[in-house]
Amino acid sequence: MDAIQTLIDGNIDFEGQRLAERLTTVVLILAGLTAWLLGFFMQDLKYTLYAGLGGTVLTFLIVVPPWPMYNRHPVSWLPAGSRGEEAGEKKGQ
């Protein structure tokens, strides 16, 4: 059950977010360029639309699932309240 919960949660780190954003930009630009060239040389807008849709679906499959490559640098968060209690103790003294 833990593996399923991990997949559903979709945790990624900050470096993973940066990688996902770059991949999204690059794949969509390449898909758009490919779609335009295909439609231009085939002289049919239908090919452009299908290739663009295929590129969008490919981008979705690359970026949206929480692949392990997006969580290579997990962040170690402090326990809840640990910093606030120390600060409150110092103010009260």
Q: What is the pLDDT of residues 1-21, one digit of tens each?
A: 777 776 677 788 899 999 999
Q: Where are the domains of the chain?
A: 20-72
Q: How far is CA 18 from the centre of its chain?
A: 8
Q: What is the pLDDT of residues 54-88, one digit of tens each?
A: 999 999 999 988 888 998 998 888 888 766 555 55
Burial class (CB in 10 A: 0-12, 13-18, 19+), 24: middle
Q: Which stretches of the chain are DSSP H helices?
A: 2-9, 14-42, 45-63, 82-92
Q: What is the pLDDT of residue 86?
A: 55
Q: What are the φ and ψ backbone dihedral angles of 65, each rounded to 5 degrees?
A: -65, 145
pTM value? 0.73
